[in-house]
Amino acid sequence: MNATDSLLLPLADAGRLNGLKNGALGARYRFWRDADGVRHVFSVYPADQAPDYPDAIALVARRTPAGPIAMWAGRPGADARRMAERLDADEIHIHVFGDEPAPALRGLIRERAPLERAPLERATKERATMERATPRPLDGAATLGLRIARRAAA
């Protein structure tokens, strides 16, 4: 296990493009090795500037002195940027899938509700269920009149 292997994702940093390590393009691209040992090239973006590509995978990464550590994998776009902010990440690395995407990378993307919306949607559904199950009280004056009538009858 390398110093930059992720503990949460089956990915390992495989370095920069050879021959471009010291140039301007060297910082723009990075290789990641998947669980099968295959190297894949990713474009590197600042966490708040990563674009949204329709058929791609995004890695939220934090820079360390030894190299980046992948902390989250999913679809590029708003969820990746939100996760980068939540994890205090520095970069988002994006790999656009080709004609035949690597199964190891495709498997890292799980279809799920957006991060911020899922708890809110669940709470809204629970509240709606409770409202249907709990009878609504009558308005204040009618409720008070009903209580007085019950006491008088008892």
One pLDDT digit (tens) per residue for the chain, 154 residues: 454 555 567 787 887 776 666 666 767 888 888 888 889 899 999 999 999 988 999 999 998 888 888 999 999 999 999 999 999 999 999 999 988 888 888 888 864 444 444 455 555 555 555 555 544 444 455 545 555 555 555 5
CA distance 124 to 113: 15
Q: Which tokens go with 40?
A: 């894949």
- Kindly calculate the radius of gyration of the chain based on its CA atoms and give it in whole angstroms: 26
Pairing verdict, β 39-46 and 67-74 = unpaired
Query: Is this model's pTM higher than 0.85 or not?
Result: no
**CA-CA distances (angstroms) from residue 93 to 71, 104, 118, 128, 147?**
11, 16, 24, 40, 66
